[in-house]
Amino acid sequence: MSFLKNTRIRNVVLVSVIVAGALATIVVTKPAPSGAPLPGGANLIGRASALVAESDSYDFGEVPLRGGLVRTVFSVRNGGAEPLTVSGVSTSCMCTTAVLRRGGESWGPFGMPGHGPRRAIRTALAPGETAEVEAIFDPAAHGPAGVGPVSRAVFLENSSGDPLVLVLSALVTP
């Protein structure tokens, strides 16, 4: 009888995992709704953030699971005619953090909302002024289950409108 209960429990757990995986796949591959922010600060209804990136995506290529942290730096600029304020930085996953740097100042590290301490930021960028965003990805954060293609994002909330979205991708190898 104990074996039957364990089999039933295993089956319930297995079905739950399969359903959760299918739902996650649907959510991840679903197209962005109208008006949702896209990389580079533009969105589907034509509005644009004055905060722009020289390049809004970076592909690490193949990254070994146990190879340690990988990093890249994005250059961002106030492309508008008015000063803007960066009011928040966050990431799409706990495996990714970001640090904002301007001049000799540094803010962060910032991570996924709701995980770890919330770090406040409020820094102004004059028109044409630049800052750097260092994005750090930990390929080992999800363990062996995290092997395969990944895509993560860094979001920069700002006073000019839609957040600037910086996208990271990698192929995590065993």
The pLDDT score that the predictor gives to residue 174 is 95
From residue 64, give the alpha-carbon distance in Å to each of 14, 124, 134, 146, 161: 28, 38, 20, 11, 37
Are 103 and 134 members of one domain?
yes
Task: Report pTM.
Answer: 0.72
Alpha carbon distance 9, 11 (integer Å): 5
Instruction: Please indicate, yes or no, whether residues 67 and 136 belong to a single structural domain of this protein.
Output: yes
Q: Are residues 81 and 99 in the same domain?
A: yes
Counting every residue written for the chain, the total comes to 174
Domain region containing 4: 1-30
- The domain that holds 64 is classified in CATH as 2.60.40.10
Phi and psi at 168, nearest 5°, equal -115, 145
> Looking at the predicted structure, is the pLDDT value of residue 170 above 90?
yes
Give the Å distances, CA to CA, from 50 to 42, 67, 98, 160: 9, 37, 20, 6
Same domain, residue pair 51 and 15: no
**What is the secondary structure of 91-112 as a DSSP string?**
ESSTTEEEEEEETTEEEEEE-S
Query: What pLDDT score was predicted for residue 17?
Result: 42
Tally of domains in the chain: 2
Alpha-carbon distance of 119 to 71, in angstroms, equals: 20
Residues 24 and 87 in one domain: no
Same domain, 67 and 11: no
Same domain, 6 and 47: no
Query: Do 98 and 133 lie in a common domain?
Result: yes
User: Distance (Å, rounded) from C-alpha 32 to C-alpha 13?
Assistant: 31
Q: Distance between alpha carbon 116 and the CA centroid of its chain, in Å?
A: 15
If we measure between CA atoms, which residue out of 136, 111, 125 comes closest to residue 159? 125
Q: Give 8's contacts (C-beta < 8 A, 6+ positions apart).
A: none
Verify that 25 and 44 share a domain, yes or no: no
pLDDT tens per residue, range 42-92: 433 344 579 999 999 999 999 999 999 999 999 999 999 999 999 999 999
β-bridge mates for residue 167, sequence order: 57, 153
If asked whether residues 91 and 144 sit together in one domain, one would say yes
* pLDDT, averaged across the chain: 81
Q: Are residues 113 and 54 in the same domain?
A: yes
